[in-house]
Structure 1
């Protein structure tokens, strides 16, 4: 069989992203038994140490697919009802009428109406960075701050609702996934991280995917450079950072190879059963953190283009790092990309991000990687 992966085009596309301004990136594309891995640029701008496609990386909200899969496995075993009210399981965290109105499914697909806790964390806890007010120093001050998930959840639950439970469009909110982590812990008697590791990571056969045990990334990795829309200039390394501010909503560390393996196993029905997978791919409108309306299922969202096959997966960002991992609906082709700079766009007078050459270069890479 002719190799369906155009290595030269993929090499050129990765190099183009680097030349457009990305310090370093690495990726893996698979089609059947054919595999391409590539990297361009540096993992450390001070030393010139190159990036490598085998590096470990903070994958941000890609973690949500893992957490959703763990919840669905508990639902398959009968410990969780997807359409049961969250107040039945966690009455202290979501009390009263809201606890009765919000179901587990609404948490997974972001239609709970619960606000994102992040905007409230700095003024309430005096502990989460508020770059608009304090600049980059606030990030440095809280590299090692340890957050209590119940305090973060309380901020989201206590904030004004962003919609009615089950309403459309939903609003993407990390509060939902911190609650799901507490739910998993409640029904299993262990931590969400331990449950996800056992039921999802180990089940998928992933060898380089772990939750962090401290503020550092263990194993070979890149530095992660945060620009915060031009307000941190030059961009600063935040690869050392305590990820308790996101917990099992966005703290996972993995590799591009492991992410492709995970989504291949998931789409093949080897992590959750066929009925659960079908529900994961049942989408509704959700407003993303960038303010765009996207289609979102249960920890999965589609990547679609007219006349092209649909891909399923998730993207994620952390301070300085970004990831996108997607798999074609039939499982035949996969792409995982990791970058070591975030929020490279500058803002216009109204606060909207302005186009940057990196945006177009990344889009070109995605097109080549997904469609050839």
Structure 2
């Protein structure tokens, strides 16, 4: 019987992503008691320093699963109502009719209709996602800018709504998750990052995970390179960057080992109750920031190849860094992958990202990591 976790196959798939143009990437795959860790490429294109599988990394929107879990703990404790209007908790941040219409659940599953604040916080991204009309200048200008969540939330709330509260498909928006951070602080009396650290990160026993909004990654880590669709050439290192621009929506630092541990414990009912986990896995259609319609639950979304088992987890990107963490529904097979380049696709004349060899190589890696061997890539 073929070993379901084939180190040679995994190493080859990882190396193929590097050969396709990814400076460096690293991963951990678990299948029962078997564990494979691998790395390919460099952590620093200037020095050639190699990436290693134990590096700490910015994991972007995987943060959302941690934030959602923290909110659901407070739901279990009776401090937050999933279907209670956010205006009852935060009337100044979401005032009036919208505060009465948007529930906590709608924030967690992105059906609030609240717009993304990002284009307003970064002036040169004003046309985002009309990418052809954007530029990377304000990424540099804002490297050490300290944002307060309330000012970013205000930008998203003031912007034209992207849908009616509770309507589907929802539209993915970081504004929702900054509001959830403010909600946690309101009901617990503790800063959201501290609450999440004590009640999610420490509960899961994670040794190399933290939620700092500061600019630095402590410990061994890779430089991270942003290409902004070919507009930054060569890609620029954004490993030093103040993460207050995304806070409880995306500022988490972790490792591939910690991510697998977290999602394993979450799906085993050890972070939130089984009934809360069922709520997290109840999905609605949501339009992603890439313009694709995905199924999204409460801080979790599924991935599956046609006719194959479903995995649950989350992906994430920040300037220069990306990660994906997925755990099979039975908890036995787990995959976490981190990459150190973002937005590698060039744009056509209408501003649409064009296919790149990295895309196919990553899809093949996901396939091998999740299911082993060739076949349809998960989606």
For the superposition of Structure 1 and Structure 2, which TM-score range results when normalised by the shorter chain?
over 0.9
CA displacement 1:58-93 (0-9 Å, x = unmatched): 000000000000000000000000000000000000
Which secondary structure does the structure 2 equivalent of 1:151 belong to?
helix
Task: Indicate if the aligned counterparts of 1:131 and 1:138 stay in contact, CA closer than 8 A.
Answer: no
The structural deviation recorded for 1:10 is 0.2
CA–CA distance in structure 2, aligned partners of residues 131 and 209 of structure 1: 32
- Map of 1:177 onto structure 2: 177
Taking the aligned partners of 1:213 and 1:327, their CA distance within structure 2 comes to 27
Distance in 1 (CA, whole Å) between partners of 2:147 and 2:212 is: 14
Structure-1-length-normalised TM-score: 0.97
Aligned pairs (5 A) from 1:83-162 = 83-123=83-123, 135-162=135-162
Query: Matched residues in 1 for 2:162 and 2:131: separation?
Result: 23
Distance 1:213-1:183 versus aligned 2 partners, 3 A rule = closer
Tell me by how many angstroms 1:134 deviates.
Answer: 7.8
* C-alpha distance after superposition, 1:294-326 (max 9, x if no partner): 000000000022111000000000000000000
CA RMSD of aligned residues (A): 1.8
CA distance in 2, matches of 1:186, 1:109: 20
Alpha-carbon separation, structure 2, partners of 1:139 and 1:291:
22
How far does the alpha carbon of each residue in 1:239-277 deviate from its partner, in whole angstroms, 9 at most, with x for none? 000000000100000000000000000000000001100
TM-score of the superposed pair, with normalisation by structure 2: 0.95
Aligned to 1:241: 241
User: Does the 8 Å CA contact 2:125/2:134 hold for their aligned counterparts?
Assistant: no
- The equivalent of 1:286 in structure 2 is 286
Post-superposition Cα deviations, 1:29-74, rounded to whole Å, max 9, x if no partner, equal 0001100000000000000000000000000000000000000000
Whole-Å Cα distance in 1 between the matches of residues 225 and 131 of structure 2?
15
Tell me how far apart the structure 2 counterparts of residues 275 and 358 of structure 1 sit (CA, whole Å): 39
Question: Residues of 2 paired with 1:159 and 1:141: CA distance?
Answer: 23
Q: Distance in 1 between matches of 2:175 and 2:99?
A: 14
CA contact 1:224–1:237 (8 Å) conserved in 2: yes
Q: 1:44 to 1:131 in 2, by over 3 A?
A: farther
Instruction: Return the offset for 1:17.
Output: 0.3
Q: How many residues align?
A: 370
Structure 2 stretches lacking a partner, 5+ long: 373-379
Residues 321-360 of structure 1 show CA distances to partners (whole Å, capped at 9, x for unaligned) of 0000000001010000000000000001111110000000
Match of 1:307 in 2: 307
Distance 2:179 2:240 in 1: 25
Correspondence for 1:338: 338
